[in-house]
Amino acid sequence: MENIDKIIENLIDRQEVCFLSFINDAGFPTTRAMLNPRKRQGMKEFYLTTNSSSQKVQSLLINNRAGLYFYDRATYRGAAFTGTVEVLHDQNVKDEVWRDMDTIFYESNTDPDYCVLKFTANAARYYQDYTSTNIEL
C-alpha cells in the first residue's frame, strides 16, 4: 500500500476522539473514549490528557499495557496500536499539550488532577476495504 504511514497519520489527525483500552483493577479489559492526542511523534508516541484521579490512570499505574484505536466512520477505516502508557506529571509536558478549552475540565495547567498519558506504540494494524495490514513502526 503506497504511503500507508501518511494515510494513517492523516486518519489520526482528522479524528476528534480515539479509544484507549487497558486492563482495569479487576483484571478485565475496558475501553474509554479520549480526546484525540494533543501531540504525536509519527505513529510511535501519542500524548493524551486526562484526570490523575481517574480509574484508567490508577489501572495504568498497575499495568501499563494498553491499546489505542483510531476510527474514521465515514470511510470505515481504522488503526489499532498496542503499546505501553506512562503517566506524566512533568509540568513542561503538561504546558506543551495544554489547550485553553481544558479549563472546562481543570482549573489550570497546574491542577494536580491534570496529567498526560504518553502512549508508546510497539505494534500497529491498519484496516480498510475488509483487509487488515500489519504496520512497521
Residue 95's CATH number: 2.30.110.10
Note the pLDDT of residue 1: 52
Q: How far apart are CA 7 and CA 29, in angstroms?
A: 29
End-to-end CA distance of the chain: 15
Query: Are 128 and 80 in contact, with CB atoms under 8 Å apart?
Result: no
Question: How many domains is the chain built from?
Answer: 1
Query: Are 35 and 105 in contact, with CB atoms under 8 Å apart?
Result: no
The residue segments making up the domain with residue 112 are 4-135
Q: What is the pLDDT of residues 101-113, one digit of tens each?
A: 999 999 999 999 9
Note the pLDDT of residue 8: 95
Length, in residues, of the chain: 137
Note the pLDDT of residue 2: 62
The pTM of the full predicted model, rounded to 2 decimals, is 0.94
Query: Which residues, given as ranges, of the chain have pLDDT below 50?
Result: none
Note the pLDDT of residue 99: 95
Note the pLDDT of residue 85: 98
Judged by phi (left if over 0) then psi (alpha if -120 to 50, else beta), residue 109 lies in: alpha
